Amino acid sequence: MKNYTTERYQITIFSEPTFMENSADNINNYDLVYFDKSEYVLPTVFGIKIFNINKLLKSAVIGSVGGGTGIHETSTIVEDDRLLICSSDSIFCLSIPELSLLWKTKADQATCFEIFKHKDDYIVHGELEISRLDKNGNIVWQQGGRDIFTTLDGKDDFAITDEYILATDWENRKYKFDFNGKIIL
């Protein structure tokens, strides 16, 4: 579970692995449900609740297909009026405090691990692709590598500097991308 506090709101995001749409057995009920249509159980389902002075304003649950994603420091971005969350193969962008779905973008063929703000855009560290999305969720560019963009120990596999993006694949090959998606040698 992750808790965020903005100037006006408190936001809680948590895993909801047993939530099923229209089930009477759900622990939590939500105002809004944003699920991919799938005949399979979704691997990543997150509950989101927005409060103001301990009063629940709105709640939503999101879920997507692809690989599993966890909630951690770099899997979400909270801005003044929007919340961005990695969920399986997609990035969800929800309005604050309404939790209306502003956009959803499939940013990786498998799993979106992390999302970072870069100027007015977003950089997504995916399992198979590094992507840049604009503020409306449009893919500006995507780049893949020879293997998945993670290392055996999951450490030092992705970094953003002032000059470039550095990604390391499973075989410890390093990829340097400029912010226009070009490979830097």
* Spans of all domains in the chain: 1-106, 107-185
Length of the chain measured in residues: 185
pLDDT at res. 61 = 98
Task: Give the whole-angstrom CA distance, residue 57 versus residue 48.
Answer: 11
Q: Is residue 155 very low, low, confident or very high in pLDDT (cuts 50, 70, 90)?
A: confident
pLDDT in the model for residue 26: 93
Q: How many C-beta neighbours within 10 Å does residue 152 have?
A: 9
Task: Write down the pLDDT at residue 100.
Answer: 98
Query: 1-106 sits in which CATH class?
Result: mainly beta
pLDDT recorded at residue 37: 86
Closest listed residue to residue 174, CA positions, set 146, 133, 135: 146
Cα angle for residues 42, 44, 45 (degrees, 5° grid)? 90
pLDDT of residue 76: 98
Domains 1-106 and 107-185 fall in the same CATH topology: yes
Whole-model pTM: value is 0.95
Q: Which CATH architecture has domain 107-185?
A: Beta Barrel (2.40)
